Amino acid sequence: MNSHERAMERRQFLKGTLGAASLVALAGCDNLSHSSWFPSILSKTEKLTERAQRAITPTNALAKEYGEADISKVFPANGNTDPGTGEYAEHVAQEFANWTVMVGGLVQTPTSWTLAALKELPSRTQITRHDCVEGWSAIGKWTGAPLGDLIRQVQPLPNARYAVLYCADVDEDGVLYYESMALADCFHPQTILAYELNGAPLDIPHGAPIRLRFERQLGYKQAKYVTMIELVETLSGIRGGKGGYWEDDQGYEWYAGI
Ligand SMILES: Nc1nc2c(c(=O)[nH]1)N[C@H]1C(S)=C(S)[C@@H](COP(=O)(O)O)O[C@H]1N2
Ligand SMILES: [Mo]
């Protein structure tokens, strides 16, 4: 089966099992796939290597931030919109009081943060545009803790080069969603572990209680339902070795800069 067929099969699966809200989101993907910005972001990510892109965009350049008036009335939810496991359902019942994000791997002091502890850290709020490769975009206001603050606290070892984010959701084959990024990008000022969307606690479809916002990258890098962040030296030993769920399976670019 080629990757297009797999994507189709996945979509059929999603249509067959998810609720009405996600159906709307999927339909939206089809309808919007001809929007004007879509071909340009795709060709950009195809043609530019990470190095070339970093050379033309300073590492700390900010993604464009918008005003309150620009916030999309509906922010679609895409991919998994509920992890659907018993364990996750328990967290929902407890209003995520026992949810933790563990940061470990190549660090001096592995540390876990509860949701409440994350909310006590200094926060950042940003209104940005999310671009999904399936052809839709939406502007939302995100609030969360800068990931760099957590990483500084755990003290990365000198050989740590990447952060791997593990999520609570599994696909139809039982494969857990995961993503990864260069350690340097964890310190970008707009890289946050978000717990609010548009001033309200993150809802389940958008990744409750914690999801990554990594604003200069495409939608599939924005990991939802984050449970664990592991600092590693190489991505090659992890799962398919390509650094993310879509990268392993569908040939998506690891460096999805926009
Ligand atoms: N854990 C997890 N994170 C995920 C996904 C997913 O299926 N599971 N889908 C990705 C994709 S393709 C997109 S476009 C965005 C969608 O985020 P949203 O549902 O808040 O719009 O989440 C990304 N992060
Ligand atoms: Mo996406």
| pLDDT value at 146 more than 50 | yes
Beta carbon of 77 within 6 Å of any ligand 1 atom:
yes
| pLDDT value at 15 more than 50 | no
| The ligand 1 atom nearest the CA atom of 211 | 3
Percent of all residues in the chain with a pLDDT value above 70, rounded to a whole number: 77
Task: Say whether pTM exceeds 0.85.
Answer: no
- Protein residue whose Cα sits closest to atom 12 of ligand 1: 220
Q: How far apart are CA 94 and CA 52, in angstroms?
A: 46
> Where in the chain are the domains?
3-250
Q: How far is the CA of 159 from the centre of ligand 2 (A)?
A: 31
Q: Where are the alpha helices (DSSP H) in the chain?
A: 3-17, 20-32, 37-47, 50-56, 86-93, 115-120, 147-154, 183-186, 245-250
Q: Token match 């803790």: residue? A: 145
Does the domain at 3-250 match CATH 3.90.420.10? Answer given as: yes
| pLDDT value at 110 more than 80 | yes
Mean pLDDT of 190-201: 98
Least confident of 50-64, 168-182, 210-224: 50-64
Least confident of 46-55, 116-125, 143-152: 46-55
Beta carbon of 139 within 6 Å of any ligand 1 atom:
no
Mutate to test the pocket of ligand 1, among 23, 78, 227 (most ligand atoms within 8 A of CB): 78
